[in-house]
Each structure stands twice: as structure tokens, then as C-alpha cells.
Amino acid sequence: MSTSLLYHTQCIRDYQYESTEYKDGHVIFNIRRKFFNCSKCNCPQVSVTISRERLIKGEKIGRKLFFLKVPVHRIYCSQCKSTTIENVSFISSPKARITRSLERTIVELRSEMCISAIAEFFGLDWKTVKDCEKRHLEKKFRYIPLKNVEVIGIDELYVKTQGREKYITIVRDLESGAVLYVGDGKGADSLQAFNLKLKHSEAKITTVAMDMSKAYVSWGKNSLPEALIVFDHFHVIKLMNEKLDKVRRRVAGEIDEEQRKLLKNQRYLFLRNVENLEPDAKQLLDNLRNVFKELGDVSMMKEGLRSIYQISRNCSQAEAAFKNWCAIARQTQIKELEAMSKTIENNLQGIIAFWKTNKLSNAGMEGFNNKVRWLIRQAYGFQDKDYFILKIFNLPNTKTEAVS
């Protein structure tokens, strides 16, 4: 009966139950292997001697911690004359101290429980739980197919974990949402390993969505010359908001203390979309635009830029609207608007490609970046770099409400 229990509760075969011990509130099964073969020639004609005993933790029985006491034998084969040490078949590696069944249970619980909670429940060190999940993720993401990928998004992310600050570059399949690559740093150098993967996979990338970083644009043109580069509206408006905020800070520095009080704590009033403002907030924004003409002009130009994406139906309409916007921006002689108009003119083909690709957006990458930041906060930082990268690969399958 207890041998059957070994199989049905711990998924252990080829071992025979011998006796049970109860010690310190734990349940301990003494088991032994039923038969022996030579691991090299598979010959059954072997002699065995006990080398040592091992205590291996299995899945809990009720509320009791459960252990397996198993003798490890030295095996001598009379046919091939070799001496080997018995492999314990129900553990994942020779030095493992928990059963495969317990490892599978830990992996299954990780989507619902944090590492420390699982460690406490099974009486394990938290590093053991982490290592179980890490081995599972390494196996899961050992090979990432690129052959059928056509549309990718590239973005860099600034991360700070365990006091270390750095950039990482993330490449995702924008159709399936899968993470294809995570590289250290930003720019073309961070994508060198991804270049090798693309060559070996013979992938046919048709579209690349990115921000207007010169380094990424250069990489796209050199590595994927046939692909269409798209600068989606999210990054264009984000850059315009940065220019607007820069003007706000500059104007605040040029006015006196009384006027500065009017602009205090009004940063997001200018950055929010007008249609999302309450009536009182809209009135306040109109008043501030009238009082601070330069800031008001830039704010109106931001809304004009947004309206291009709302009104334009095709590439030709969008191109004409952007050129007209750039001409008006230069006439204002506001240096921030002049810089923005130059950026748009230099990247116009990538910007209007937004309409060629049925308004393809890389905004999902920004949402994914927020999930990465959430991941870091939940774990209070990551000391293991490889584990951190594997967790990023697994993020599309992770519930953000669960604790990491």
C-alpha cells in the first residue's frame, strides 16, 4: 500500500517502501530501489554496496513535512567491469534535495504565491524555490522561435535594482506579445546578439516599431534593410510633451515670484489631453495660455500635433498636415518648437509609416515596460541577472496582480 502511495502522491517509481519514521513532527519514509542495472551497459548482473544515505524532501502529507530516506549504492558491473554511483531517479540533479514532484508543485504555485510564502509552506530556503523556478524558465525559454515573426517593437528601459542602475533593450513580437530578446544597454550594441539570432532563424521581419533614437534607426536600416521602420504616435506625442514641459520650466524661470505661483503645480494640466480635463481645469488652462503666451502657443501646437493623428485618414493627408505643422512651428521662433519641427522633418517617412501599417503602435511596449518596473518593485530588486531576464521573458504570461 505504501509503495503505491509513493507513486500516486510523490510520482516515484522503481522504489520499494520499507518503513515509516515520525521525528520532530515530520514523516519519513525509508525506501530502497527494487532492482539495479549498470548505468553504462544496462547489464543487470551487478553487485551493490551502500555508499551513503540521503534525506530528500517530498510533497507534504497533510500538514506534515515529508521526507524520503534512501540509501545510495555503489554499483559494480561484472560485464563491463565499471564502478558507478547509483543515480536517484526522482530528483532533477545529483545534488538536489527535493523531489521532481515537489519542484513541479513549486512551479505551479509560483503564479499564485510569492517565493517567501512557498518557502515557508514547504519549509525550504527561498533560494531553493527561486532555483526551481529558474530551471523551469531556462528550459521554457531555451529556444525562442523567430521564423514566423513579422512585426517587432524595440524599446529601451532604464532599470534600477539592488542599487545598480542600467539600461536594457527589449524586443517583442507586436502580434503575439511574446518577448523575443532582452539585451544589456541601449542602442545598436545591445542588439548584436539579436542580429545573430535573426540570421540563424531566417526570419522575415516586415515592420519594426521604435522611438526616434538614431542608434535604433541606424540598426534597423543596416540589419533589416527590407523592413519598414515605424515611429508610432505615442513616441511623437511623448517627445512633444517633453518639449512643452521644457518650455514651462524655462518660462517659470524667467518670470517673477507672483507670476510663478500661477504655474506652480500645473505641470500635468499642460501635459494632459484637453478632452480629458474637467470644465474647471479647461478654463484654468485657457487662462494660463492667455497669461503666458509662449507657453500657450506651445500647448496649442501640441494639441494641433495630436489632431493630425485624429483627423488624417491616409499617408498623403498626414504628410501634408505634418509639413504644415512644421512650417507654423518655425514661424513661432520658439526654439523648442523649431527643434521639434526639425525632428519631425528628419523622421517624416517613419512617422507617416504609421498610416501605412494600419496605425501600428508601439504603445504596448511602454505598457510592458511598466510591467517590468512592477516586477522589480514586487521582488524588491533582483540580485540574479539571469533570473531577472528570464522573468521578463515570462512577463506576458504573468498576472500582474500576483505577488512575485
Q: What is the CATH number of the domain that holds 192?
A: 3.30.420.10
Q: Give residue-wise pLDDT tens across range 240-269.
A: 999 999 999 999 998 888 888 888 889 999
Q: Give residue-wise pLDDT tens across range 169-194.
A: 999 999 999 999 999 988 888 999 99
- Separation between Cα atoms, residue 57 and residue 122, nearest integer Å: 9
Could you give the C-alpha distances from 353 to 120, 210, 218, in angstroms and in order? 53, 12, 17
What is the rounded end-to-end Cα distance, in angstroms, of the chain? 39
Q: What is the mean pLDDT of residues 3-19?
A: 85
Position 305 in a domain: yes
Q: Which residues contact 26 (CB under 8 A, 6 or more apart)?
A: 64, 65, 66, 67
What is the domain extent for residue 296?
Answer: 233-356
Q: Give residue-wise pLDDT tens across range 99-153.
A: 999 999 999 999 889 899 999 999 999 999 999 999 999 999 999 999 889 999 9
Beta strand extents in 62-163 (DSSP E only): 64-77, 83-85, 151-161
The reply to whether 184 and 237 lie within a common domain is no
Position 139 in a domain: no
Total domains in the fold of the chain: 3
The reply to whether 181 and 227 lie within a common domain is yes
The reply to whether 335 and 238 lie within a common domain is yes
Q: Which residues contact 331 (CB under 8 A, 6 or more apart)?
A: none
DSSP structure string for 30-77 = EEEES----TTT--S-EEEEEEEEEEEEEEEETTEEEEEEEEEEEEEE
The reply to whether 255 and 329 lie within a common domain is yes
- Cell representation of residue 374: 512592477
pTM, rounded to two decimals: 0.82
- Separation between Cα atoms, residue 231 and residue 223, nearest integer Å: 17
User: For position 400, what pLDDT does the model report?
Assistant: 58
User: For position 34, what pLDDT does the model report?
Assistant: 86
Position 209 in a domain: yes
Q: Are 11 and 23 in contact (CB under 8 A)?
A: no
Tell me: pLDDT of 403 over 80. no
Pick from 90, 108, 130: which residue ends a domain? 90
Least confident of 27-31, 269-273, 382-386: 382-386
3-state secondary structure of 402: coil
DSSP structure string for 183-228 = EESSSGGGGHHHHHHHHHHT----EEEE-S-HHHHHHHHHH-TTSE
Cα Rg for the chain, rounded, in angstroms? 31
Q: Are 195 and 225 in contact (CB under 8 A)?
A: no
The reply to whether 222 and 242 lie within a common domain is no
Q: Are 402 and 112 in contact (CB under 8 A)?
A: yes
Tell me: pLDDT of 402 over 70. no
Q: What is the mean pLDDT of residues 10-23?
A: 89
Position 120 in a domain: no
Position 394 in a domain: no
Tell me: pLDDT of 93 over 50. yes
Q: What is the mean pLDDT of residues 374-398?
A: 85
Q: Give residue-wise pLDDT tens across range 345-370.
A: 999 999 999 999 888 887 778 788 88
C-alpha dihedral (49, 55, 59, 65), degrees to nearest 10 = 140
Average pLDDT of the chain to the nearest whole number:
89
Position 155 in a domain: yes
Q: What are phi and psi of 183, to 5 degrees?
A: -125, 155
Closest CA to 340 of 289, 305, 308: 305
User: For position 399, what pLDDT does the model report?
Assistant: 67
Tell me: pLDDT of 1 over 70. no
Position 164 in a domain: yes
The reply to whether 245 and 197 lie within a common domain is no
b (16+ CB within 10 A) / e for 13-35: eebebeeeeeeeebbbbbbebee
Q: At what angle do helices 293-311 and 279-291 cross, to 10 degrees?
A: 130
The reply to whether 210 and 246 lie within a common domain is no
Sign of CA dihedral 27, 30, 36, 38: positive
Tell me: pLDDT of 159 over 50. yes
Identify the band that residue 163 occupies on the pLDDT scale cut at 50, 70 and 90.
low
